[in-house]
Amino acid sequence: MVKRWSGNVWLGWALLLLCLTLVSTFLAVVSGFVHDPNDNPGSYYHDKIPERQWAMALSMLLPTMSAAAAGVSIFARPRALTRIAAGVTVLLLAIAASWFCWAVGIDTIEHFERLARYE
């Protein structure tokens, strides 16, 4: 018989994934960095757009999973006020991190599209 995870275990996973989100956010920011855009032709940047899309999707994966685990922790039974408060805090932080990764990813993709237009 399989034992169900308690709300505390889900909250622990949410916290662990939130800590790992710092790494994915750093990778999302670094993936859009171009030292000297004049070094390569526009076709190079056009070919790199799918890679940046994947970088954005993967950087959003950890904060989204953290938010999901925090959401499960909030609604797990038996209810505990401290766990619910911690779960809501982690949920809000994970949503903010997910939004930040999305915004950075969209900005990076648009930047590479602008670089691809100039040959």
Let me know: does 102 contact 56? Beta carbons within 8 Å: yes
| DSSP label of 41 | -
Q: Give the count of alpha carbons within 13 A of 85, CB side only.
A: 3
Q: Which pLDDT value is given to residue 119?
A: 62
Name which residue leads in pLDDT, 89 or 33: 89
Looking at 5-19, 23-37, 73-87, which range is the least confident one?
23-37
Q: What is the pLDDT of residues 37-96, one digit of tens each?
A: 888 888 889 999 999 999 999 999 999 999 999 999 999 988 899 999 999 999 999 999
Count CB-CB contacts under 10 A for residue 91.
20
Q: What pLDDT band is residue 2 in, cutting at 50, 70 and 90? A: low
To the nearest 10°, the Cα dihedral for 23, 26, 28, 30? -140
Which of these, 17, 2, 34, 22, lies nearest to 113 by C-alpha position? 34
What's the whole-model pTM score?
A: 0.87
